[in-house]
Amino acid sequence: MEDTCQHIREITELKQAGAYVCEECVKAGGSWVHLRTCQTCGITLCCDSSPQKHMTKHFHATGHPVIISAEPGEQWFWCFKDEVFAGY
């Protein structure tokens, strides 16, 4: 991970999705396309292809920079702050 940002390099243990749902979409009765898991607090929310873009809203509200895909078979990080993508 030499070509990635400090935020991603600081991740030592992955937080995985506890349930395969967007917690905010469930509360609002909405739907999602793909799910992402915050590597700071562990919340799983919907991606930017989803109508409400809850994970991006979470980043803007909290400043938590790094997410991973919660989709089966996908193994990547995204850092909102540095706009860096990296596989793992």
Residue with tokens 């992402």: 36
Q: pLDDT tens digit string along 11-31?
A: 999 999 988 999 999 999 999
Other C-beta atoms closer than 10 Å to the C-beta of 20 total 10
Report the pLDDT value the prediction gives residue 1, as an integer from 0 to 100: 52
From the list 26, 21, 25, the residue with the least C-alpha distance to 37 is 21
pTM over the 0.75 mark = yes
